[in-house]
Amino acid sequence: MKIKDLGSEFKLLDKIKSLSKKINNNFISQIGDDCAIIDKTKEAGKYELKRNCKTSKTGNGKYELITTDILVEDNHFSMKFSTSFQIGAKAIECNVSDIASCGGLPRYCVISLVLPKDTTVKFLEGLYKGMNDACRKYNIDIVGGDTTSGAIIVINIAMFGEVEKDMLCRRSDAKVGDLILVTGCLGRSCSGLNLFLQGKEKLGETKYYLEPVARLNKAREIAKYVNAMIDISDGLASETRHICIMSDCGAVIYKDKIPIDKQTIKDAKTCGKDPYDYALSGGEDYELLFTLSKNDYNKHKHLFKDCFVVGEIVEKEKGIKLAEIINGKEVKKELGKGYEHF
C-alpha cells in the first residue's frame, strides 16, 4: 500500500498517531492539534533531555506550545509569484497562526532550510529579511536551525510559545449547541492564487495570497471564552471536519452565512470559479474558526462584532453538513473535505 491509497489526509494522520507512542506524562494535547501542549509543571517521566537541545521554562500558570510547518516550493509558494521577502514573512505568519489558534503567544523559533546549490545569496537575504520583519512584529527570536541542499526549496519552521492555562484553546473541546464563528472573510488567498495561475493577477486582488497575516491579537482577545479553535489553513470545510473529529461531534455550516467579500466574488467570476469553493476548500486564509456557547457569545458580543457566525455544533449522529436554501427549502448535504495534501 502507498500513502495515496490511504484515501485522505485524515487517514494518514490516524496512521501516524497509531505509530507514535507517548513516553512522557506532561504532553496534554493530541497529535493533530495545531500545537503540541506541554505542562512544564508535571514530571516528564524517567527520561530527561540533557545537552544538545535548547530548553525553556514557563511559569506555573502557563503551558508551553510547540508547532511546526513546512513550506515546499511550487506547493506552498512559487518563485514566479512571490518575492523572497514575502516567502519568508509567510513562513513565520503561518506558524504564528498555529500558536494563535491555541490562544497563545509565540516566543522563539528554529528554521531549517533545503536549498538547491544554485540558490542566489540575494534570495537568502530577502528570505531572512521577510522572516526577521515578521518576527519583530511578534517579538519572536530566531534561535537556530539547520541547512542542507536539495532539488527544490523547502522551509521548515518549528515555533515555540506559551499560553496561560485559562486561555488554552484546542480543537477537541467543542460542545453540542456551540455557535461556529470565523474571524473574517474567506477565500481571498485562494482567489489571489487563481488570478496568478490564470495570468490575471493585474485584474484583481492578490495581497491576501502573497502576504497573509496571522490573527494573533484577535485570538488573544477571545481565547478565554472559546471552547474549540483552529486556524483556517486548508479551508472552512477541512477545519470544521478537524474540530468535529477531535471533539466527537457534528456540525452544520450555513452556506449563506459564509463571509465572502465583493472583491473575491468579482475575482472568482474573472477566473470562472465559484467563490464558495474558494472559501470551503481553498485554504491559506489564516482566519480563525472557533466555537463558543450561545451564552458566552451573547454575554461578550462586543468581542465578536467583527466575527461571523457560520454554523453550529450538533450531535455526532447528525453528521457534518452544509446547509443551503434551494427553491425556498433548506437542503443539507455532506460538507466536503476541503483541501487535501495527499
What is the set of domains in the chain, with CATH numbers? Answer: 22-166 (3.30.1330.10), 170-334 (3.90.650.10)
Q: What is the pLDDT of residues 7-45, one digit of tens each?
A: 676 677 778 777 777 766 676 766 667 788 888 776 554
pTM for the structure as a whole? 0.89
Residue 48: predicted pLDDT: 41
Average of per-residue pLDDT across 242-260: 97
Which run of H or E residues covers position 137? helix 121-138
The model's confidence at residue 52, banded by pLDDT at 50, 70 and 90, is very low
One-letter amino acid for residue 317 of the chain: E
| Crossing angle of the two packed helices 262-271 and 188-197, in degrees rounded to 10 | 30
Q: What is the pLDDT of residues 164-210, one digit of tens each?
A: 999 999 999 999 999 999 999 999 999 999 999 999 999 999 999 99
Residues 6 or more apart in contact with residue 77 via CB below 8 angstroms:
71, 87, 90
Average of per-residue pLDDT across 204-220: 98
Residue 24: predicted pLDDT: 67
Q: Give the β-pairing of 179-182 and 308-314.
A: antiparallel
